[in-house]
Amino acid sequence: MLANIIDENNIYAIPRFEITKGEVNNFIEELKTYHSEFSDYFQRSEPRENFFQYMCGQFSDLERKSIEPIATNIE
């Protein structure tokens, strides 16, 4: 079943995307590459790793995407 967005005059279907496991793995590699562009801004590895964890948390299915839920749920 496809969800709908209703506006005053129209109903718009929300498209579904079929995503393969390979595409997810490729995305993680792209995210790591993007993350590496910021490595000069972190003198220590711990904050750099925390930043990567935060970025991953933003793409997660967590209901709340603030620091605490990300820190306790993303590995």
Token representation of residue 63: 């209901």
Residue 38 lies in a domain: yes
Residue 49 lies in a domain: yes
Residue 11 lies in a domain: no
Tell me the β-bridge partners of 11. Answer: 6
Model pLDDT, residue 34: 93
CB atoms inside a 10 Å sphere around CB 65: 13
- Residue 60 main-chain phi, psi, to 5 deg: -80, 175
- Tell me the three state secondary structure of residue 20: coil
Residue 25 lies in a domain: yes
Per-residue confidence of the chain (75 residues) as pLDDT tens digits?
A: 445 566 667 777 677 778 888 888 888 889 999 999 999 999 999 999 999 999 999 988 888 888 898 988 887
